[in-house]
Every structure is written in structure tokens, then in C-alpha cells.
Amino acid sequence: MADGTIEILELTLGPLQTNCYIIGDTTRGEAVIIDPVDRADVLLQAVQDKNWTVRLILATHGHFDHIMASADLKTATGAPFRFHEDGLAEVRSLPAIAKGWLNIDVPPAPEPDSFVREGDIITVGDITLEVLFTPGHSPGHVSYVLRSHDIVFSGDVLFLGGIGRYDLPGADYNVLMESITGKLLPLGDQFTVAPGHGPHTTIGFERQQNPYIRDYLRAQQDDHA
């Protein structure tokens, strides 16, 4: 996906087929990686093929399948690693969780260079991302909004026809639905949703067709009737 000076690469990697997004400023040769899911070698090769320099590594949340390459990627690039403070415990538990879920050995994730917070504006070259705090699937979940291209990188909050799991530790259905309806839907129907798993969708499609959203909004209307 390319438009003007911004190009977006999507790589689906890892045992849970998680989407990693690399946003590049093709004029300055600088890049941001969202969710370093796995295979740092593959991510680095993709960046090198474009002659980009990684300036920042971001995580939408601390679940293991979104950050398994974070240590190797940071070592290779020296780029800062940032996520929301409420995800710190999850990030620090990476080796134990990966061992428990998949019986694989993963090095500890690096400590954050700084945290992201609701309303932060992150700028790398011509890339400008706005941080939305979108908990519910994970206590420290955030979504990153690329308003110049009407794209939201939604992590595991919203999927094509689905929503993030809310049966995991620290998850909460009502909080998740409030994040979706209060933070993502107001972005506008034209926005593309680039999720942590599966294909892209749009806010407009999910507003009209997503059964979880429709049922939740209908219940809200009934409560206020």
C-alpha cells in the first residue's frame, strides 16, 4: 500500500498469524514498525529491501504474539520501543507466556524507552500517528491512527466481522465495546481498519455489518429508551 511519500508494508508472521505493519517515509527513508510479531530477520530484510532506517518500534499491546521479535529488532536497529504503561506486566511476561502457550523459548522483550498515552502525536519524517487508548482486549491496548491516509492500526480490538477476545486475563467485554464504539467508530466510515489478525476492513462496514457492534448498540439504545 503506497500513497505519496508514505508506503505501508504488511507481513503476517508467527504461530498465530499476526500482522506486522511497517510504515515507511519513502522520501526520508525512515520507518516505524507496529507490532514486531516474530522473525526479526524477515522484518529487517523487508526494511533493507526498501533502504529504510527503522526509527521507532511500537506495540499495540503486550500479548506475546505481537512482540516476540522486539528484542532482536531493537538490538539490530537501536530504535526506541514504546507501548502503553498498562501493558508493562504483559510485556515483561513474554518468555513465560510464550513457553506456556507454545512451548517455545523467546528472549525477554526490551524495557520501554518511553510509554505512549492517549492523544500522543508520534512523528517520524512525514509519518504522523495519533494514539488512541483502546483497552478491553488487553489493559494497555492502544490503536494508532494514520489520519493522513484514513487508516487505524487496531491491533486486536476490531476485526473483519469480529472483535478482540475478552476472555483473557485483564480483558473486559464492556470496556472493549466502549473502546470500539467510543474511539474507533467516531473516526468515520471511510477509515480502513488494519487489524492485528486477518484482512482489512472499514469502520463503515463494521458499523453496519459487525454483529457484536450491532447488538451492543441496540442494547445501548434499549437501555436508554
Q: State the Cα angle at 82 between 76 and 86, rounded to 5°.
A: 140
Is residue 59's pLDDT more than 80? yes
pLDDT score at 204: 98
Q: State the Cα angle at 97 between 96 and 98, rounded to 5°.
A: 95
Those residues with Cβ within 8 angstroms of residue 212's Cβ, 6 or more apart along the chain or in another chain: 162, 163, 177
Is residue 2's pLDDT more than 60? no
pLDDT score at 224: 64
User: What's the mean pLDDT when you consider all of the chain?
Assistant: 95
pLDDT in tens, 169-222: 899 999 999 999 999 999 999 999 999 999 999 999 999 999 999 999 998 877
Is residue 225's pLDDT more than 60? no
Is residue 1's pLDDT more than 70? no
Alpha carbons 105 and 95: distance in angstroms, whole number = 6
- Whether 105 and 98 have beta carbons less than 8 Å apart is answered as yes
With a pLDDT cut of 70, the percent of the chain lying above it is 97
pLDDT score at 104: 87
Alpha carbons 136 and 175: distance in angstroms, whole number = 5
Fold of 2-223: Metallo-beta-lactamase; Chain A (3.60.15)
Which residue from 158, 146, 167 is spatially nearest to 201, judged by alpha carbons? 158
Alpha carbons 174 and 106: distance in angstroms, whole number = 32
pLDDT score at 162: 98
What three-state secondary structure class fits 156? coil
24: left (phi over 0), alpha (psi -120 to 50) or beta: beta
Total-model pTM: 0.95
Which residue from 187, 97, 108 is spatially nearest to 145, judged by alpha carbons? 187
* DSSP codes joined into one string, 62-81: --GGGTTTHHHHHHHH---E
> Per-residue confidence at 102, pLDDT binned at 50, 70, 90?
confident
pLDDT in tens, 135-176: 999 999 999 999 999 999 999 999 999 999 999 989 999 999
Those residues with Cβ within 8 angstroms of residue 61's Cβ, 6 or more apart along the chain or in another chain: 83, 84, 87, 90, 137, 138, 140, 141, 142, 155, 156
- Written as nine digits, the cell of 17 is 498469524
Question: Strand 114-116's sheet: what is its strand order?
Answer: 2-3, 6-13, 18-25, 30-34, 53-58, 81-84, 114-116
What are the C-alpha distances in Å from 112 to residues 8, 56, 58, 59, 63? 24, 11, 10, 10, 15
Separation of CA 86 from chain center: 15
